[in-house]
């Protein structure tokens, strides 16, 4: 399948693996890229720019296909050395960056001068337009369903994607709630040029996370995520667990006076304990409603091949068939 996103990124299939904290290591990014999609290493999971440089080299030893690096600009207690991370990925020869959170404008001249294509992930049409106006090459439009940070507008993809199609001239991918061939065909029909998946790629053979995480996704239904940190305007969709219930009780009790310090135990530094050690109640971890559509743990190749084969059948047999 050829779309504006496969052409822009030089990939075979219009499927991207979104950056994921403590999931997006070289093993997963390489597996997705080797299967013809675009794998992405999560920049900030690497503690220093030097660590990122080593992770990029590891990925290059596992694939000769294009892969990207995610740079997330979220409110943090101490700001990471973004300039250092950007220099590391440029020096490493990475040609695609997925930015998320704050607008990446200040870093665009440096990235563009190095021939790096920028996909900015946004949760609203106004932010997508802004990304287009400042010169991003593509956007990833993240609906309310998504795992991670859906923003504060709560617009699901059924509305957000066709609104993005009305307003954008640059290519965009649908993100949030994407899992299978139906997702891809629907996203294309809604105006997107491909899909970005997070949660679905955690439940794959190559995702280098503890087996408990994959099993938790398999066991979950679409009813099992919760929104946390809304009072802090840093809303995150996470898998429900004991820590999340405790966090939500604190939010209900403290109301508008809540501060990040009140919930620090549930949100800070929990990813290594969950993703590496499989301690599933250690804290709040991002997960999409799409968990309800995930019933197996395939290889990335089988997942992507299956989506592409079934999407073709859906288009040829079901959709074109409807016209006969
Ligand atoms: C465990 C997990 C960690 C994530 N970490 C990040 C991150 O560090 N930076 C980022 O931009 N997005 C992050 N995301 C969001 C994904 O890149 C992607 O946009 C989202 O998962 C799409 O929704 P889906 O889970 O319904 O596919 C994360 C998502 C998950 C599930």
Query: Quick one: tokens of 47?
Result: 């503690």
- DSSP code for 211: H
143 lines ligand 1 (CB under 6 A): no
* pTM for the structure as a whole: 0.98
Residues with Cβ < 8 Å from 315, sequence gap 6 or more? Answer: 185
283 lines ligand 1 (CB under 6 A): no
Contact present, 311 and 1 (Cβ < 8 Å): yes
| CB-based burial, 126-139: b 16+ in 10 Å, e otherwise | ebbbbbbeeebbbb
Nearest-atom number in ligand 1 for the CA of 45 is 8
Tens of pLDDT, residues 126-149: 999 999 999 999 999 999 999 999
Q: What separation in angstroms does the CA of 171 have from each of 14, 117, 121, 133, 235?
A: 11, 12, 12, 13, 26
Dihedral, 270, 287, 102, 207 alpha carbons, nearest 10: 80
Tens of pLDDT, residues 30-81: 999 999 999 999 999 999 999 999 999 999 999 999 999 999 997 676 789 9
Q: How high is the pLDDT of residue 4?
A: 98
Contact present, 122 and 140 (Cβ < 8 Å): yes
- In the chain, the domains with their CATH numbers are 4-208 (3.20.20.70), 211-289 (no CATH)
24 lines ligand 1 (CB under 6 A): no
Q: How high is the pLDDT of residue 77?
A: 67
Nearest Cα to Cα of residue 286 among 200, 195, 205, 211: 200
178 lines ligand 1 (CB under 6 A): yes
Report the nearest-CA residue for atom 10 of ligand 1. 19
């Amino acid at each position: 399948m050829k779309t504006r996103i496969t052409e822009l990124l030089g990939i075979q299939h219009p499927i991207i693996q979104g950056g994921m904290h403590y999931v997006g290591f070289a093993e997963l990014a390489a597996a997705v890229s080797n299967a013809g999609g675009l794998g992405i290493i999560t920049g900030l999971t690497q503690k220093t720019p030097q660590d990122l440089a080593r992770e990029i080299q590891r990925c290059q030893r596992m694939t000769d296909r294009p892969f990207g690096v995610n740079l997330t600009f979220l409110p943090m207690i101490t700001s990471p050395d973004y300039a250092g991370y950007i220099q590391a990925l440029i020096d490493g020869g990475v040609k695609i960056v997925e930015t998320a959170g704050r607008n990446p404008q200040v870093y665009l001249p440096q990235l563009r001068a190095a021939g790096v294509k920028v996909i900015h992930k946004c949760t609203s049409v106004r932010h997508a337009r802004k990304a287009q106006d400042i010169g991003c090459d593509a956007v990833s439009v993240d609906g309310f369903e998504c795992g991670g940070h859906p923003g504060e507008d709560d617009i699901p993809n059924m509305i957000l994607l066709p609104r993005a199609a009305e307003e954008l001239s640059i290519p965009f991918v649908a993100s949030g709630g994407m899992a299978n061939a139906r997702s891809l065909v629907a996203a294309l029909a809604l105006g997107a040029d491909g899909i970005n998946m997070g949660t679905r790629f955690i439940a794959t053979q190559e995702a280098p996370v503890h087996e408990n995480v994959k099993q938790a996704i398999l066991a979950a239904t679409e009813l099992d995520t919760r929104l946390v940190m809304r009072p802090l305007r840093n809303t995150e969709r996470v898998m429900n667990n004991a820590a999340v219930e405790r966090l939500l009780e604190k939010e209900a009790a403290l109301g508008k006076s809540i501060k990040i310090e009140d919930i620090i135990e549930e949100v800070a530094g929990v990813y290594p304990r969950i993703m590496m050690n499989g301690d599933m109640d250690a804290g709040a971890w991002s997960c999409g409603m799409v968990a309800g559509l995930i019933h197996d743990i395939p290889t990335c190749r089988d997942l992507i091949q299956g989506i592409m084969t079934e999407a073709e059948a859906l288009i040829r047999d079901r959709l074109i068939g409807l016209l006969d």
